[in-house]
């Protein structure tokens, strides 16, 4: 059975909502761990530093070497939890596209992973971004397609016109029933 579900999508695409719905739908307990959790755990000084993570006024995200070092440790830690028996839902933004996925693939080697692309049209994600009020304007549009470049998924969902619960039901069906017919 799947032990890790990796949700990749741009900012405000609906990944966190899907993760919460999956926790309610899937049998047994699943931990939801997101890149936002990692960022929140970092010292405040790293959230606006060239060594850490910088988000410009237009929503561009720049990753520095200290952030990358801590992110690598976090990814290894998430993989270790899965190997220790925890079932994990990862909510991430693959800023590096295929390169980001490869880092996760290496860390999760030997585990049963379901790779899920969470898509949302840029203008819709931008509207959510404004409603959230905690994101730099332009981030959602900039990431909407870029985070999917070169990434290979087992399943893709689109939250542009589909609620998080419906997307989570589709993902849950794959995890529980293993049915990917027509999704590859």
Which residue in the block uniquely carries the two structure tokens 């959510």? 128
Half-sphere exposure of residue 59, counting CA atoms within 13 Å on the CB side?
Answer: 21
The Cβ of residue 138 has, within 10 Å, a number of other Cβ atoms equal to: 18
Counting every residue written for the chain, the total comes to 184
Q: Quote the DSSP letter at residue 43.
A: -
Cα–Cα distance, 122 to 142 (Å, whole number) = 8
Contact 35, 92 (CB under 8 A): yes
Distance of CA 90 to the CA centre of its chain: 6
- Give phi and psi for 79, each to the nearest 5: -60, -40
Q: Where are the beta strands (DSSP E) in the chain?
A: 4-8, 31-34, 53-55, 61-63, 88-92, 113-119, 155-158
| Residues 41, 125: Cα–Cα separation, whole Å | 25
Active-site residue list:
36
């Amino acid at each position: 059975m799947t032990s890790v579900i990796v949700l990749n999508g741009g900012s405000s695409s609906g990944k966190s909502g899907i993760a919460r719905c999956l926790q309610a739908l899937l049998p047994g307990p699943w931990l939801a761990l997101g890149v936002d959790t990692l960022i929140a755990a970092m010292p405040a000084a790293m959230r606006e530093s060239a060594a850490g993570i910088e988000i410009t006024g237009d929503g561009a995200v720049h990753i520095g070497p200290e952030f990358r070092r801590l992110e690598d440790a976090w990814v290894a830690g998430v993989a270790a939890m899965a190997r220790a028996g925890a079932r994990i839902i990862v909510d991430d933004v693959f800023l590096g596209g295929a390169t980001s996925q490869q880092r996760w693939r290496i860390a999760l080697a030997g585990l049963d992973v379901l790779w899920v692309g969470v898509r949302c049209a840029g203008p819709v994600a931008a509207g959510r971004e404004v409603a959230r009020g905690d994101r730099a304007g332009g981030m959602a549009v900039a990431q909407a397609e870029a985070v999917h470049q070169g990434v290979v998924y087992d399943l893709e969902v689109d939250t542009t016109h589909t609620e998080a619960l419906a997307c989570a039901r589709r993902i849950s069906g794959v995890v529980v029933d293993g049915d990917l017919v027509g999704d590859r």
